[in-house]
Amino acid sequence: MFYREAGQFKATYAADQAIFPILQDKIGIAIILAIAFGVIPAFASDYFLSSLMLPFLVFSLAALGLNILLGYCGQLSLGTGAFMACGAFFAYKITTAFPELNIIFVFLLAGAGTAAVGVFFGLPSLRIKGFYLAVATLAAQFFLIWMFNKVDWWTNFSPSGVISAPPREVLPGFAVTGSSATPVDRYYFALGVVCVLALLAKNMVRSRIGRTWMAIRDMDIAAEIIGIRPMAAKLSAFAISSFYIGVAGALWAFVYTSSVEALAFDINRSFQVLFMVIIGGLGSILGSFLGAAFIVLLPIIINQAPAAVGIVMDTALLGHIEFMVLGALIIIILIAEPHGMARLWQIGKEKLRLWPFPH
Amino acid sequence: MNFKRLTALAVATVIGAGAFWASQPAVAQAEDEMFIPLMVYRTGPYAPNGIPLADAFQDYLKVLNERDGGINGVKMTWEECETQYNNDRGVECYERLKNNGPTGAAAFFPFSTGITYALIERATNDKIPVFSMGYGRADASDGRVFPYVFTSPTTYWAQADAMINYIAQQEGGYGDLDGKKIALVYHDSAYGKEPIKTLELLAEEHGFKLTLHPVSHPGLEQKSTWLQIGRRVKPDWTLMWGWGVMNATAIKEASAVGYPMDRFIGVWWSGSEVDVRPAGDQAIGYKAGNFHGVGQDFGVVQDILTHVYAKGQGTGPEDQVGEVLYNRGLINMFIITEAIRTAMGRYGDKALTGEQVRWGFENLNIDQATLERAGFDGMMKPIQLSCTDHEGGGQLLVQQWNGSEWEVVSDWIEPNGDLIRGLYEASAEQYANEKGIALDRCTS
């Protein structure tokens, strides 16, 4: 009933090609955007914005990047953390070398640099696939982190290898990095970047390039026979995916934590993003956001829930409960729906379409 | 109930709990209570080190409330937040706790170099002191550039220098260091790399040869490192900047290649009971730096045993009281509460804001009489801080493991103050330059 499409006719090509063809979806997205841009900054506390929403947005972007590569193009990568580090360190070097350059261009250049690195480490994908490729991308993970940790030039010769975000403004008076940036400004900036890139991703996967990725993912030999060039498809997936992850890394270091060392992007970070993509849903833009929310926000909610309902609990016990509940939820969700949380939402939509008269 | 329904139920429960939690207002607290946030790690890879620290924080606050009725009649309240020694969670804890209590948090002490780095700017902005006792950013000892960061009583750089001073004493003077070989085994992270610049400078000055041996996290694989040290480099002394499981592994591997234990000195984070006990008898003779005494023979420890543990109020197991990390937690709490007491001398006996506590830190003077009153006599050196100097001393003790307990085997060792001060200032000025901070705070 809620998703009844009867009566929604498409009379033009533009209407037929809309991102959200159903009226209910359009309204839903409009509400979500209104909440994200209007309600949250107006009412949420600094804690909510800077400790929950910022990491959620940054990880959503990283998960989106990995989803393009893994979910849409079928190339398994374990180098996400390293590509995030690339984005962070490239942005740091660019912005300290050219302090006048607007931070948006810094982030775009950092993303472009990461895309180049991604293409380089994506080259093995032309010969190997699946788990073998995952191991090959591990090389990127180890090599890049080692390099950022070892070569002092990347940190402007800081004695401890920590980079710290210098103060930068997007527009005069709208600082987004450094100590003068308010949580609301940081949030708006991150939200803007994520929304633009998510919209681009959504359109990309519906267009020719997205369809070539999916053809390669579903059966590469068949795709090649019908005229898709595997090299162009795979390398473009690596480039675009790395671009997204690089921008996410730069956001992480500049807008969220403000100071970061290379070890913050170790292999655990790669796994974290990989789990987000798997739990959220492979090959789904929405899934990237759901997965990020699950991995980033849920542990914090579990950790605070007992205190919120007035149960005083030992910190260590609470820590262990957090691990157990999160682990159990991961298992339950994956057994119930191996295609991830995005698929659960899709099933929910199907049911709503028939409700209240299931057949 | 099938799995799909179970999932839906679980998801709904979590969302419901989340919504409920988000709607909860902060608990109101009385005006005459001072809130102290406790960042702890009782779970995760470094839990064995984090638990005694966390227990000591609470025990000291409990003894203050029990024995003295708080500080000048103002009761202490506290709340723990679990960081798992993870930078992101540390930042989250900071944001969660910074506004608790009637006047907000008194000071933060994350006990993690990574979290400290992440908090410096935030806390400076929020006007809350960050107390990083013997860890964190060494050049933050320069109060001109870092008004809200305190590193008292010592930093990695000062300690590296004091360790070389100790080695020189053992060798018969700085002149005898010429031509000697000193190896540094370190955790390959921001923390482990801290002493390198100081040691390189000292190597140049005194003519010893420094070799560097990074160990990647978590440090369970050190065979090749120690084969290199034991067979090829054969250093006269070995220093270690390790943490967690890395320490016990290093001690075992050093013993396996026959390296003399009494020429192997760990930083103070490599010198607690949890580091040497797993290595068993192999660890006998191993040395480590420290900046406080160990054991139960101090007034404050006895007070905790009578006022807290005897009444069944102890936070942790009683046999851990007096261990290295436990006493370090006590000293950490002692310096903070004394800073609060100093600030009360100016702002009155009530709950104070972070900015007021900062004043207390900058005017902190823990002299011998204060140490005796609080029961810390013999456990630590007097400390005096100022606007420019946020460290106040930097002295070091060397302790040695005898198989069952740590024994202090040296006098207080002074670092070379001028040299270290110069390093702090040069590094802090570079930071100030990058961030556009003026350097005239303490002169005006």
Q: What is the pLDDT of residue B15?
A: 56
Partners of residue B125 in chain A, C-beta under 8 Å: 179-180
CB contact under 8 A, B121 and A166: no
User: What contacts A137, CB < 8 A, 6 or more positions away?
Assistant: A76, A77, A78, A79, A121, A124
pLDDT in tens, B268-321: 999 999 999 988 899 999 999 999 999 999 999 999 999 999 999 899 999 899
Q: What is the pLDDT of residue B23?
A: 45
Q: In chain A, which stretches have pLDDT less than 50?
A: none
Q: Which two tokens stand for residue B266?
A: 């760990």
Q: What is the pLDDT of residue A119?
A: 96
Instruction: Say which range, A248-262, B10-24, B77-91, B167-181, has the weakest mean pLDDT.
Output: B10-24
Instruction: Average the pLDDT over B389-418 and give the result.
Output: 89
CB contact under 8 A, A264 and B22: no
Q: What is the pLDDT of residue B255?
A: 92
**CA angle, residues B29, B32, B35, in degrees to nearest 5:** 60
Contact A352/B at CB under 8 A: no
Partners of residue B427 in chain A, C-beta under 8 Å: 159
Contact A159/B at CB under 8 A: yes
User: What contacts B444, CB < 8 A, 6 or more positions away?
Assistant: none
Binned at pLDDT 50, 70 and 90, residue B19 comes out as low
Q: What is the pLDDT of residue A156?
A: 86
Closest CA to B186 of B265, B87, B93: B265
Q: Which two tokens stand for residue B395?
A: 């002295």
Assess whether pLDDT exceeds 50 at residue B27: no
Nearest to B121 among A48, A258, A316 (CB): A258
Q: For residues B309 and B218, which has the higher predicted lDDT (pLDDT)?
A: B309
**CA angle, residues B356, B92, B321, in degrees to nearest 5:** 70
The whole-chain average pLDDT of chain B stands at 88
CB contact under 8 A, A259 and B124: no
Binned at pLDDT 50, 70 and 90, residue B26 comes out as very low
Binned at pLDDT 50, 70 and 90, residue B11 comes out as low
Contact B400/A at CB under 8 A: no
Contact A225/B at CB under 8 A: no
Q: For residues A260 and B1, which has the higher predicted lDDT (pLDDT)?
A: A260
Q: What is the pLDDT of residue B38?
A: 95
Q: What is the pLDDT of residue B28?
A: 45
Beta-bridge partner residues of B204: none
Best A160, A271, A334 residue to mutate vs chain B (most B CBs within 10 Å): A160
CB contact under 8 A, B82 and A319: yes
pLDDT in tens, B42-99: 988 888 889 999 999 999 999 999 999 999 999 999 999 999 888 889 999 999 999 9
Assess whether pLDDT exceeds 90 at residue B440: no
The whole-chain average pLDDT of chain A stands at 91
The three-state DSSP-derived secondary structure of chain B is: CCHHHHHHHHHHHHHHHHHHHHHCCCCCCCCCEEEEEEEECCCCCCHHHHHHHHHHHHHHHHHHHHHHCCECCEEEEEEEEECCCCHHHHHHHHHHHCCCCCCCCCCECCCCHHHHHHHHHHHHHHCCCEECCCCCCHHHHECCCCCCEECCCCCHHHHHHHHHHHHHHHHCCHHHHCCCEEEEEEECCHHHHCCHHHHHHHHHHHCCEEEEEEECCCCCCCHHHHHHHHHHHCCCEEEEECCCHHHHHHHHHHHHCCCCHHHEEECHHHCCHHHHHHHHHHHCCCEEEECCCCCCCCHHHHHHHHHHHCCCCCCCCHHHCCCHHHHHHHHHHHHHHHHHHHHHHHHCCCCCCHHHHHHHHHCCEECHHHHHHHCCCCCCCCEECCCCECCCCCCEEEEEECCCCEEECCCCECCCHHHHHHHHHHHHHHHHHHHCCCCCCCCC
Binned at pLDDT 50, 70 and 90, residue B25 comes out as very low
Assess whether pLDDT exceeds 80 at residue B2: no
Q: Map tokens 């026959």 to a residue.
A: B258
Q: What is the pLDDT of residue A86?
A: 96
Contact B220/A at CB under 8 A: no
Binned at pLDDT 50, 70 and 90, residue B443 comes out as confident
Strand B365-366 relative to strand B264-266: parallel, antiparallel, unpaired?
A: unpaired
Q: What is the pLDDT of residue B7?
A: 58
Q: What is the pLDDT of residue B6?
A: 55
